[in-house]
Amino acid sequence: MAAAVSHDDHTSDLTAVESMLRAARGGDRTGSVRAITLNLIVHAPDTERIEVAIEALEHVGPSHPLRAIVATPGDGDLRASVASSCWVGASDRQVCSERVLVEAHAKALPSAVTSLLVPDLPVFLWWQGPFTHEEGLAGGLSALASRLIVDSGECGLEGVLAARLLAPSVADLVWSGLHPWRDAVAGLFDGPSEVRALQRIRAVDVRGPENEARLMAGWLRSALAADIDLNREGRQHHLERVTMRAGGKEYLVERKTRGRLGTATVPGLLDYPVVLAPPPRPSLLADELSRLAGDRLFERALDAA
Amino acid sequence: MATTAKRPAPNPLRSGLRVGGASEPTVFVIYGASGDLSQRKLLPAIYNLAVRGLLPSRFAVIGYARADMDNESFREFARAAVEKFSRTPVDDHLWPAFAETLHYQSGTFDEEAFKVLGERLEAIDAAHGTGGNRVYYLSTPASFFPVIVQAMGATRLNKPPGFARVVIEKPFGHDLDSAHELADVVHRPFRENQIYRIDHYLGKETVQNIFAFRFANAIFEPVWNNTHVDHVQITVGESIGVEHRAAFYEETGVVRDIVQNHLLQVFALVAMEPPAAFDADPIRDEKAKLLRATKPMTIENAVRGQYGEGYVAGEKVAGYLDEPNVPPDSNTPTYIAAKLEIANWRWAGTPFYIRAGKRLAKRVTEVAVQFKRPPHLPFPTDAVEQLEPNALVLRIQPDEGISLRFGAKAPTPTLALRTVNMDFLYGSSFLAEVPEAYETLILDAMRGDGTLFTRQDSVERSWEIVDPLLDQWRKGTPQVYTGGSWGPDLADELLARDGRRWRRP
């Protein structure tokens, strides 16, 4: 799939942004119809995170044509730059996304962003960095969004809890990345006899990072409506193993190498391979942009974590 | 959901997972696993489901055919099939794990051989924890269906410890009587809700979009009736000829190949009443009701054609009678145009014109809804002489999208109205990879979701609609049309006598 950035321009006048974007799409001469499905506000407090955001947007764009407003708090005058990216897929189909980088004082950013939102379309806020609901910018941008996406790897689970106070729906990219593991763990108990064994699970051993381990335990507690102890070990960057025991038998999902695959072990059956590697972070973001409603499973797991 | 045994308690850890895939342990049995369909469609589709993480965690395939293969050679066969026909390339990291799920059993379609298959299935259940759940896919010529299902019943393959579902490919008979006979045979070992009649057309994302377009948008449904719609045109055009399938096509012709199944299913989706829920039975109930309200086709309201030589996209093409293995006196129709009438409150008096054919000007499947003219045009006559009535076109393939035709004022000094088209391409909103129809349908069969499969009542009613015409067309010859055209002249006359004309797709 080929991407082509068609235009890149700068301005300090936000009222000029729409005409600049129109020019970036080829102007009125082409008769092109804009088909955008959502607004995405990205909090990018520094250059590094701006680059991360732009890279992610290039990945997300083909599946979610959107207007991204990358908001950077600064001390200087308001500045904006616009760009439009188009991707050509099979049968020469083309989708286009728009990107506006806007830098302004934190107090001015929410109003600047408001003026740039495409009407009627849903608004997502991807907040990069630590999160506290006491911060004015977080409150101002969250008020514009119907879904707030954070990363508990950056803001901690406490930051996610704080985010819940500000937006009707919150997503955590760490939770999203846990999906292959949750699917594999659930798969351990797909057989009738294993379903019965679930009732006897009282502890889970997790080898991996703290947030992932807490969310895994929270998910099991809420799904099974049971008190389940968490025993965590290791300081790994990635989950390596989840183990549960019932009736003297051990149920295990383990990733032994850094490849995509791991192994699931169910007592009495042949071990079988499972896909455990989470999709890359931009894919996780794209997945969250597909959902507008809250994730009840996540909320319950977070409460129980 | 189809079952043959008491359902086990659901796994609470599955609740709310975002997978969208199949979770119940399953063994997928392919009868005719060494054949063309298995190679081109089934094995690549199953592989792509694995790539997308949509297969159950406990899953196995048993390929079953007469060909002499073992597990290893079947895995090599499958890999070659995936390399050649899959929409995604083989992932060398994923392949070894996927290959382990593939097994092969050589045998014939009789009771002795099926007993051996049953033992093999039990062994796989014990090793893989697949719980006795089976999806049987009959990827064989239709003539084998009765033999296979009878032998399955005799050896109790239809009554495993878990669920048993059987997937069968069209044709579901070649007329109403044979459809009854096939149903009688299949219904002996399997209940209707265990039978998944596959029409790959319904698995296409684009066909499913008709549901979304009609029932997720409030602005169209109020005008979707005989008060506002003048008529509807459904076109299923192919630019290719019969190619190497002359023997098959001589037995079927355009009516059995396209109209009785694909086209009537699309027709039903366009014209049916809104279902109460997006579930198998409510949707299939509404489709069946619509087909029951559709009058059988007659020779008076239908035109047949057979392609002659011509040019398609600049290439010279042979006529049907000059194709390999076509008898020189064949009267098999490769084209049909017909008027369908629906006797219900919504559509009475609004005809649905259908046309389908090979070697037409281009490959296109579309539904064009032509609206009535405004009751009064308050403009000078010369200002509106180029104004066409509104039309809404649902393009199913290629370039899936929606086109709306409406009138607008031209920027001229004197008042002049012109017809303009507003095109929307689905591809301009979603560039995501579209799954193959077989992926969707195989996954649905494993999930026990029959929404996109055809129920026996619809099959029978479809034959009741086309059978009278097939009877009348046994005699006579089709009108020859030029390859690369839009069909014979008589098709134009069919609409002209109603004061209408075909649109050019």
Give the CA-trace dihedral at B120, B121, B127, B132, to 10 degrees.
-160
As a whole number, mean pLDDT of residues A170-193 equals: 91
Predicted local confidence at residue A193, as pLDDT: 80
Dist. CA B418–CA B400, nearest whole Å: 25
B415 touches chain A (CB under 8 A): no
User: Token pair of A266, please?
Assistant: 């169910």
Is B262 one of the catalytic residues? Answer: yes
CB contact under 8 A, A261 and B428: no
Predicted local confidence at residue A250, as pLDDT: 92
Give the CA-trace dihedral at B402, B408, B412, B415, to 10 degrees.
150
pLDDT band at A30 (very low <50, low <70, confident <90, very high): very low
As a whole number, mean pLDDT of residues B410-439 equals: 76
- Within 8 A of A264 by CB-CB distance, chain B residues are 57
Predicted local confidence at residue B413, as pLDDT: 78
Specify the residue for token string 């509104």. Answer: B390
As a whole number, mean pLDDT of residues A74-100 equals: 76
B429 touches chain A (CB under 8 A): yes
CA distances from A28 to A19, A25, A34, A86, B243 (A): 10, 8, 11, 17, 45
A241-288 residue pLDDT tens: 999 998 889 999 998 776 778 889 999 888 888 888 888 889 899 989
Chain A CA closest to residue B8:
A192
B66: how many CB neighbours lie within 10 A of its CB? 12
As a whole number, mean pLDDT of residues A105-115 equals: 87
User: Among the residues of B159-232, which ranges form H helices?
Assistant: 176-187, 205-215
Predicted local confidence at residue A4, as pLDDT: 53
Contacts for B16 with CB less than 8 Å, ≥ 6 apart:
A223, A296, A297
Chain B CA closest to residue A222:
B13
As a whole number, mean pLDDT of residues A30-35 equals: 54
CB contact under 8 A, B23 and A190: yes
A65 touches chain B (CB under 8 A): yes
Higher pLDDT, B285 or A259: B285
Dist. CA A243–CA A264, nearest whole Å: 10
CB contact under 8 A, B57 and A95: no
Estimate the crossing angle of helix A296-304 against helix A152-164, to 10 degrees: 100
Q: Of B184, B182, B181, which is closest to residue B170 (Cα–Cα)?
A: B182
B137-146 residue pLDDT tens: 999 988 899 9
CB contact under 8 A, B429 and A65: yes
Max Cα distance, chain A (Å): 73
Disruptive mutation site among B14, B424, B431 for chain A (greatest number of A CBs within 10 Å): B431
Predicted local confidence at residue B39, as pLDDT: 95
Smallest CA–CA distance, residue A205 to chain B, in Å, is 17
Specify the residue for token string 């799939």. Answer: A1
As a whole number, mean pLDDT of residues B375-383 equals: 85
Predicted local confidence at residue A273, as pLDDT: 82
Disruptive mutation site among B11, B87, B421 for chain A (greatest number of A CBs within 10 Å): B11
CB contact under 8 A, B57 and A272: yes
pLDDT band at B2 (very low <50, low <70, confident <90, very high): very low
A215: how many CB neighbours lie within 10 A of its CB? 27
Disruptive mutation site among B13, B95, B363, B424 for chain A (greatest number of A CBs within 10 Å): B13
As a whole number, mean pLDDT of residues A18-36 equals: 64
Dist. CA A45–CA A108, nearest whole Å: 14
Predicted local confidence at residue B123, as pLDDT: 94
Whether residue A291 is predicted with pLDDT greater than 60 in this model: the reply is: yes
- The ipTM value here is 0.80
Chain B CA closest to residue A199:
B12
The amino acid occupying position A89 is G
As a whole number, mean pLDDT of residues B264-293 equals: 94
A118-137 residue pLDDT tens: 877 889 999 998 887 656 88
Predicted local confidence at residue B403, as pLDDT: 86
Disruptive mutation site among A94, A121, A176, A190 for chain B (greatest number of B CBs within 10 Å): A190
Q: What are the residues facing A96 on neighbouring strands?
A: A86
For the ranges A14-23, A53-62, A287-296, B495-504, the lowest mean pLDDT is seen at: A14-23
A192 touches chain B (CB under 8 A): yes
Highest mean pLDDT among A117-121, B334-338, B433-437: B334-338
- Within 8 A of A265 by CB-CB distance, chain B residues are none
Q: What are the residues facing A253 on neighbouring strands?
A: A242, A264
Q: What is the mean pLDDT of chain B?
A: 90
A275 touches chain B (CB under 8 A): yes
A191 touches chain B (CB under 8 A): yes
As a whole number, mean pLDDT of residues A203-232 equals: 92
Rg, Å, chain B Cα set: 25
Max Cα distance, chain B (Å): 86
pLDDT band at A31 (very low <50, low <70, confident <90, very high): very low
Strand A147-150: give its sheet, edge to edge: A2-11, A79-88, A94-104, A66-73, A38-43, A123-127, A147-150, A170-172
Q: Of A155, A141, A243, A258, which is closest to residue A201 (Cα–Cα)?
A: A243
Smallest CA–CA distance, residue A197 to chain B, in Å, is 11
Predicted local confidence at residue B83, as pLDDT: 95
As a whole number, mean pLDDT of residues B310-335 equals: 91
Whether residue B35 is predicted with pLDDT greater than 70 in this model: the reply is: yes
Whether residue A93 is predicted with pLDDT greater than 80 in this model: the reply is: no
Predicted local confidence at residue A133, as pLDDT: 64
Shortest CB distance from B428 goes to which of A94, A268, A269?
A94
User: Among the residues of chain A, which ranges form H helices?
Assistant: 17-24, 47-60, 109-116, 136-142, 152-164, 173-177, 179-187, 192-198, 210-224, 281-289, 296-304
Predicted local confidence at residue B478, as pLDDT: 95
A120: how many CB neighbours lie within 10 A of its CB? 6
CB contact under 8 A, A186 and B17: yes
pLDDT band at A191 (very low <50, low <70, confident <90, very high): confident
CB contact under 8 A, B57 and A264: yes
Higher pLDDT, A19 or B498: B498
- Within 8 A of A184 by CB-CB distance, chain B residues are 57
Query: Out of B128, B200, B231, B262, which one is annotated catalytic?
Result: B262
As a whole number, mean pLDDT of residues B105-111 equals: 95
CA distances from A145 to A40, A53, A111, B245 (A): 9, 18, 13, 56
Dist. CA B65–CA A138, nearest whole Å: 63
Whether residue A89 is predicted with pLDDT greater than 70 in this model: the reply is: no
As a whole number, mean pLDDT of residues A153-179 equals: 91
Specify the residue for token string 């006897």. Answer: A200
pLDDT band at B6 (very low <50, low <70, confident <90, very high): low
B480-494 residue pLDDT tens: 999 999 999 999 999
Q: What are the residues facing B407 on neighbouring strands?
A: B419
Predicted local confidence at residue B431, as pLDDT: 63
CB contact under 8 A, B11 and A269: no
Shortest CB distance from B128 goes to which of A1, A184, A272?
A272
Percent of chain A with pLDDT over 90: 36
B408 touches chain A (CB under 8 A): no
B25 touches chain A (CB under 8 A): yes
Smallest CA–CA distance, residue A68 to chain B, in Å, is 15
- State the number of CA atoms in the 13 A half-sphere of A125 facing the CB: 27
Q: What are the residues facing A251 on neighbouring strands?
A: A244
